[in-house]
Amino acid sequence: MTAALIAILSMTVLGLPITLAVDRRARGPLLVGASFLYGSGAIFLILLALSVVKLRWTLPEVTLAALAVFCAASILARRPATGKPQPAARAHVFDVVTLFALTGYALFATLASLWEWDFWAIWGLKARVFLEAGAIDWRFLGSRWNTFAHTDYPLLVPLNFDFVALLNGSWSDRWLGLLCVAWGVGAVLIVRGLAARETSPFFASLLGLALTSRAVSTFIGLAEGALIAFGGAAVLFVRAALRDDDDDAAWRHGALMLGFAANCKNEGLALLVAVTIAVAAVSWFRGGETSRLRRLGTAAKLWPAYALAAPWLLLRFTHVLPTDIAGGSPFSRLMARLPQVHEILAFLITRLHDPWFWIVILAGILIAPAAARRPERFVFLVTVIQLLVYVVAYLATPNDLHWHVNTSWSRLTAQAALPIAFVVFLMLANSLRGGQDAPHAQARPDE
């Protein structure tokens, strides 16, 4: 357990100057949550880079590389803050209940050695193989007998497991669940910090409590938790950037988080595409004096996300790691299933995990005043595109469609839940408070 805790603490300390370099104004829960996520992403990049330059992973080497990153980020973080000052979140009694819920999650995630099939057949397996090799084992990934381990999946999560193992001195899956807790806590802290900018401490804390269950994944040891954290944070930061007069720091946060999400799972890559399309679409239809073409260029602000996603895509391409969904002829499978699309959609609805959640989300969107709904088009669009991409993936799957849906649909919908729940909650809460848009609402008294 000590190794996992030291790893989480080290990642948070490493991420602290990175967060401040991205946004000198970051404070409170947002600073802590973003620091852990950036630290987790930085450790992934360090291990990936060491592996690419063929340096065997050892604790001293990784520590030295992390120190170099820490120093570079600290120098960058010394730049003066730009943009409007952001208020830090004020604590509320509901935060205690959130803490209690997260404690419950931590107890669940650390009940036993990681038990999920996908952990020991995919995420944990790769981490363990790489640890023994002291680097990414391309021979293992290239072997036709190991395609079951989805060798094309990005490696942020396995390499984070490896960092814990390096600190531990050997492989142990007993306490790796703590990393899932840390990703979840990171997401909750960011959500809490962002909510505090837009509503009262009462509603911000209530939102934090409500969204705790959406920010964590019950699939312990899989990449879902990391993807929800990075992906959820990315969408919410880009939303903040679009709303808050193109806040540069929010763009940087959003793009970097999006890039790390793309390094968690292939769905993160899909999210990157969904966010780019949504940003372009929202910018296109946005009013203003600049030309539409110029506004379309707003999506270029996401370039750091593509820069972060590129190395793994390149490595995956050069090592010819196959993607199961693209195997054979996905287009012909898609065309063959297209006539049954209504049946497939009906099947997805019957298999929807947590249907009441989605019904309430839909009700919330319909009931909220149009003025509150309009600024949230970006998140609505991202969610719709994400769900569409999943449906297309099901149509093109080489696996038995029913099996594929049964084994993944609940996870996929959980990945999309955090940002949409955030905006629907805020729309409802702020409409109740009498103001559809309440930036910097912490300064206002509670009702």
Q: Which residues bind another protein (CB under 8 A)?
A: 100-101, 103-105, 107-108, 111-113, 115, 117, 120-121, 124-125, 128-129, 131-133, 143, 145-146, 148-149, 171, 206, 209-214, 354, 356-357, 360-361, 363-364, 367-369, 421, 424-425, 428-429, 431-432
Minimal distance in Å, beta carbon 283 to another protein?
29
Minimal distance in Å, beta carbon 121 to another protein?
4
Nearer to another protein, 120 or 306 (CB): 120
DSSP string, 27-59: -HHHHHHHHHHHHHHHHHHHHHHHHHTTPPP-H
**Which positions ≥6 away from 325 have C-beta within 8 Å?**
393, 396, 397, 398
> How distant is the alpha carbon of residue 243 from its chain centre?
20
Hey, CA dihedral for 414, 282, 263, 326, is it positive or negative? positive
Minimal distance in Å, beta carbon 341 to another protein?
27
Nearer to another protein, 207 or 309 (CB): 207
Nearer to another protein, 297 or 328 (CB): 328
User: Tokens standing for 276?
Assistant: 């780019």
Identify the burial level of 122 via C-beta atoms within 10 angstroms of its C-beta, where 0-12 means exposed, 13-18 middle and 19 or more buried. buried
Minimal distance in Å, beta carbon 115 to another protein?
5
Nearer to another protein, 199 or 283 (CB): 199
Question: In which residue are the tokens 């019904």 written?
Answer: 359
Nearer to another protein, 360 or 389 (CB): 360
Nearer to another protein, 41 or 364 (CB): 364
Minimal distance in Å, beta carbon 286 to another protein?
27
Minimal distance in Å, beta carbon 251 to another protein?
29
> Closest Cα to residue 305, out of 154, 113, 92?
154
Identify the burial level of 79 via C-beta atoms within 10 angstroms of its C-beta, where 0-12 means exposed, 13-18 middle and 19 or more buried. exposed
User: Tokens standing for 184?
Assistant: 């979840």
Minimal distance in Å, beta carbon 354 to another protein?
7
Nearer to another protein, 113 or 410 (CB): 113
Question: In which residue are the tokens 């050997």 written?
Answer: 170
Identify the burial level of 381 via C-beta atoms within 10 angstroms of its C-beta, where 0-12 means exposed, 13-18 middle and 19 or more buried. middle
